[in-house]
Amino acid sequence: MSVLTQFTGGERVSSIVGAPVTSSSMQNLYPAAGATAALSGAMTAATLKTALSITGRGRINWAAIYCNDATARTLRMKITVDGSVIRDTTSASISTANSGFVGLGGGFYNGTFATAVFYQPVRFGESLLIEIASSVSETDKATFAYAYEVFV
């Protein structure tokens, strides 16, 4: 019995069912998740771009994407664990700065002091790939935020 299967039963996530959490306060939400945030860089309309790629074992706990301005667009996040797509979500049209969705996990910010985040830990044994896309060709107009752990 391997160390990993001893504690997890050897299960592997094949898909995440349910709608991602949407938020209009992502700049306030992701720090509460202990997440790292990075600008999207140059993106071509409707074309997936690698936001995070990890080879090896680990666990992704939280991931989100949001807009940095009020240009109308949709955002997409595709999460692939050990070669299997577990979530592929495209938002409705977003035209409010700082709005987006949490693709893995959850949370809310009510505008004052009430912030809550919820981790949804997903283990990977070989690889993790998260890709993002915008419906608009643009540079640094979206932010990707994530929290993960790497195992030895």
Domain ranges of the chain: 20-138
Q: Which residues of 46-74 are buried (b: 16+ CB within 10 A; e: fewer)?
A: eebbebbeeeebbebbbbbbbbbeeeebe
Residue 113: per-residue pLDDT: 63
> By mean pLDDT, which of 9-18, 76-85, 143-152 is the weakest?
9-18
Residue with tokens 């994530």: 146
Over residues 90-115, the mean pLDDT reads: 87
Q: Give the phi and the psi of residue 93 in degrees, each rounded to 5.
A: -60, 135
Q: Band the pLDDT of 102: cuts 50, 70, 90.
A: very high
The average confidence (pLDDT) of the chain is 90
Over residues 37-50, the mean pLDDT reads: 97
The per-residue pLDDT for range 51-98, each reduced to its tens digit, is 999 999 999 999 999 999 999 999 999 999 999 999 999 999 999 999
Which residue would you say has higher pLDDT here, 116 or 70?
Answer: 70
Residue 1: per-residue pLDDT: 46
Contact 15, 87 (CB under 8 A): yes
Q: Percentage of residues in the chain with pLDDT exceeding 90?
A: 68
